[in-house]
Amino acid sequence: MATVADVESGTQAPTPPARPAARRRSFAVWRWVILLIAGVFFLIPLYAGLRFAGLKAFGKVFTYPGFGSAVGLSLRLAVITTVLTLVLMVPTTVYVHLRLPQIRRSMEGITILPLVIPPIVLIIGVLKVAPGFLLGTPYLLALVYVILAMPFAYRSLDAGLRAFDLKTMVEASNSLGAGWPTTLWRVVLPNIRTAMLSATVLTVALVLGEFTMASLALYVTFPVWIVQFEQNAGPVTTAASLLALFITWILLMLIVTVGGRSARKRGGAQVSLFSVAAPAESSQTMGEPE
């Protein structure tokens, strides 16, 4: 028996997989080369910033006037925007998938509009028509950010809903006696967790980095504060922007780790910072989700 197996493997087995293996190796090499080039491209400016600011500047950032309130406002905006976005977009996307699948294409078109309209046009229009009780409150800016976040949130959720058999799940849940609210809460939401996480990450990143609108509407968010202070304290604001970058990273990592832990435990969808971004990307390039 053993000899037969040996003979067989000796004559046939190694030849066919040999070529794909070589190709895979060269693929791997190219992957590393590209990663290296990209890494250098992104890291050099960071390093330059660090050199320019010096380590001492990092300590000073926190004592500068306005830093605390600017960061606080940005974080508040991030939370309000994310909550509003999810509350608005999750039911809408689920409804479109279940009842109006034929308008999915036009939904994609509509949700991409905020990317096409220049922020200046949008915010000036909004400021003209905004009701008085909203002017000057974070809610006005948050509402505008909800619109800005729409393309990203919709795409994430859309990809998430396409990744499982929503219609059958909902019908199965109904047939077992679950009404609409229960079905949404116990069946739909847990299964689009990754997509909701992805929408959250993208929304938070967007809010923490947005400058044009906040500045034009006279809100001193963190990015606006950085620009204001750059005039008189170059190294400190550079340190602040690096800090902003790291804080955003840490925040995103935190969201992903906390949100993904239970999913990983179940062996369900693998969640990482990279896979979180994936659904949004794949739907933009019209790739079908697995």
Conformational region of residue 54, where left means phi above 0, alpha means psi within -120 to 50, and beta covers everything else: left
Residue among 113, 165, 234, 287 that touches other proteins (CB under 8 A): 165
Residue among 46, 87, 176, 254 that touches other proteins (CB under 8 A): 176
Q: Least distance in Å: CB of 274 to other proteins?
A: 21
Under 8 Å CB-to-CB from 68, ≥6 apart: which residues?
62
Identify which of residues 93 and 191 has a Cβ nearer to other proteins in the complex: 191
Residues 256 and 272 sit within 8 Å (Cβ to Cβ) = yes
DSSP conformation letters of 239-258: HHHHHHHHHHHHHHHHHHHH
Q: What's the one-letter identity of residue 230?
A: E
Q: Does 100 bind other proteins (CB under 8 A)?
A: no
Q: Which two tokens stand for residue 21?
A: 């293996």
Considering only the stretches 135-143, 165-173, 194-202, 273-281, report the one whose residues sit in contact with other proteins under the rule CB under 8 A. Answer: 165-173
Q: Which two tokens stand for residue 280?
A: 């949004």
Identify which of residues 174 and 284 has a Cβ nearer to other proteins in the complex: 174
Assign 180 to helix, strand or coil: helix
Q: Least distance in Å: CB of 183 to other proteins?
A: 8
Q: Does 175 bind other proteins (CB under 8 A)?
A: yes
Considering only the stretches 107-115, 144-152, 179-187, 247-255, report the one whose residues sit in contact with other proteins under the rule CB under 8 A. Answer: 179-187
Q: Does 267 bind other proteins (CB under 8 A)?
A: yes
Q: Least distance in Å: CB of 264 to other proteins?
A: 12
d(CA 195, CA 151): 13
Q: Does 266 bind other proteins (CB under 8 A)?
A: yes
Q: Does 128 bind other proteins (CB under 8 A)?
A: no
Q: Return the exposure string of 225-256: e unless at least 16 CB atoms fall within 10 Å of the residue's CB, then b.
A: bbeebeeeeebbbbbbbbbbeeebeebbeebb
Q: Does 102 bind other proteins (CB under 8 A)?
A: no
Q: Does 190 bind other proteins (CB under 8 A)?
A: yes
The residues binding other proteins (CB under 8 A) are: 164-165, 168-169, 171-179, 182, 186-187, 190-191, 193, 266-268
